[in-house]
């Protein structure tokens, strides 16, 4: 006769049942919620395609960057040039892809930097309160009442129009909205019992902010990054269109729109469509992703 060992099988069965009964993590719940947001998923796909197409332009673009054919000049879309060529005979699809590197890099850089600065200042103002809160919020109000475009134009005119300078200037005025939101959240969170317990135990302030307050602001921070990227792409395009943004030999979608602005109503008006649609697609995609992230990361959301 052969003995049957029941013990290990029972243990395995119990372990599998325990694994099945275990609640999914917050990250998995957020991922499921985001996946159910079809428009946000579509926006993420479009944004990924734009990112890969632009930053992979050296491999994917049909022609090298700034490859000119002066004899060809501006030609309408054809089989050889899907989006046509500009007045210098450059393939317009390739130029749009390379220009997208600058526009997307500026948008992402401003989104991350402005959110980091605004989160830091808002968290400090909300946690410490008192005169610290008053000083930081009055500075925030000052930045809010100053006309953004005028301030940006003056700052870039004086500091230069290189992409790093544009990122710093745009981030320097784009942190105010997230600072106010984070301050309001921290004012509520600092009254929670676990924050009081951390203070009683002698936990340093820096650790309380980093380990206890900021993780509870993840949803707000992530959503603001996505929305700040969209706003930054529009602002950079506006500045470039007005002549204060990226300057030749560099090019961005806003610069391409500015250079093609005189083509309205002519046979070369197609030069406006590609950069304009690229900006529109990027802004819509980022906003859709932001909406999906907001719904997915909402701890009180049910659907």
pTM of structure: 0.80
Assigned domain for 72 exists: no
Give me the CATH number covering residue 174.
Answer: 1.10.3720.10
Distance from C-alpha of 111 to C-alpha of 222, rounded to nearest angstrom: 10
* Per-residue pLDDT at 10: 43
Q: Are 248 and 13 contacting, i.e. CB atoms less than 8 angstroms apart? A: no
Lowest mean pLDDT among 10-14, 30-34, 122-126: 10-14
pLDDT digits (tens, 9 = 90+) for 68-114: 887 777 788 888 888 888 888 888 888 999 999 998 999 899 989 99
Distance from C-alpha of 90 to C-alpha of 66, rounded to nearest angstrom: 6
Distance of CA 27 to the CA centre of its chain: 20
What is the number of domains present in the chain?
Answer: 1
Domain that holds residue 226: 28-63+86-297
Taking phi over 0 as left and psi of -120 to 50 as alpha, with beta for the rest, 74 belongs to beta
pLDDT digits (tens, 9 = 90+) for 155-191: 777 777 788 888 888 888 888 888 888 888 888 888 7
Assigned domain for 287 exists: yes
Assigned domain for 247 exists: yes
Assigned domain for 162 exists: yes
Q: Is the peptide bond before 249 cis (omega within 30 degrees of 0)?
A: yes
Assigned domain for 1 exists: no
Segment 142-167 mean pLDDT: 77
Assigned domain for 76 exists: no
Q: What DSSP string runs through 140-206?
A: HHHHHHS-HHHHHHHHHHHH---HHHHHHHHHHHHSHHHHHHHHHHHHHHTTSHHHHHHHHTT--HH
* Per-residue pLDDT at 47: 92
Distance from C-alpha of 264 to C-alpha of 270, rounded to nearest angstrom: 9
Assigned domain for 200 exists: yes
């Amino acid at each position: 006769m052969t003995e049957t060992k029941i013990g290990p099988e029972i243990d395995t069965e119990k372990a599998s049942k325990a694994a099945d009964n275990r609640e999914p993590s917050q990250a998995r719940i957020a991922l499921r919620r985001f996946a159910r947001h079809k428009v946000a998923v579509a926006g993420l796909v479009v944004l990924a395609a734009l990112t890969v197409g632009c930053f992979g332009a050296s491999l994917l673009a049909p022609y090298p960057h700034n490859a000119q054919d002066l004899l060809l000049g501006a030609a309408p879309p054809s089989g050889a040039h899907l989006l046509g060529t500009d007045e210098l005979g450059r393939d317009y699809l390739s130029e749009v892809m390379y220009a997208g590197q600058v526009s997307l890099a500026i948008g992402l850089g401003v989104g991350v930097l402005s959110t980091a600065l605004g989160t830091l200042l808002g968290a400090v103002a909300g946690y410490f309160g008192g005169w610290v809160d008053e000083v930081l919020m009055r500075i925030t109000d000052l930045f809010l009442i100053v006309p953004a475009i005028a301030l940006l134009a003056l700052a870039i005119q004086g500091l230069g129009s290189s992409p790093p300078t544009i990122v710093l200037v745009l981030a320097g005025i784009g942190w105010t909205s997230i600072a106010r939101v984070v301050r309001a959240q921290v004012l509520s969170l600092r009254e929670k019992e676990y924050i009081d317990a951390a203070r009683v135990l002698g936990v340093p302030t820096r650790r309380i902010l980093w380990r206890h307050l900021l993780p509870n602001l993840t949803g707000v921070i992530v959503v603001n990054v996505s929305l700040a990227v969209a706003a930054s792409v529009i602002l950079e395009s506006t500045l470039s269109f007005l002549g204060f943004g990226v300057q030749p030999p560099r090019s961005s979608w806003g610069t391409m729109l500015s250079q093609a602005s005189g083509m309205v109503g002519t046979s070369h008006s197609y030069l406006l469509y590609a950069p304009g649609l690229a900006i529109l697609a990027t802004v819509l995609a980022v906003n859709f992703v932001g909406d999906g992230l907001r719904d997915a990361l909402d701890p009180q959301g049910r659907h």
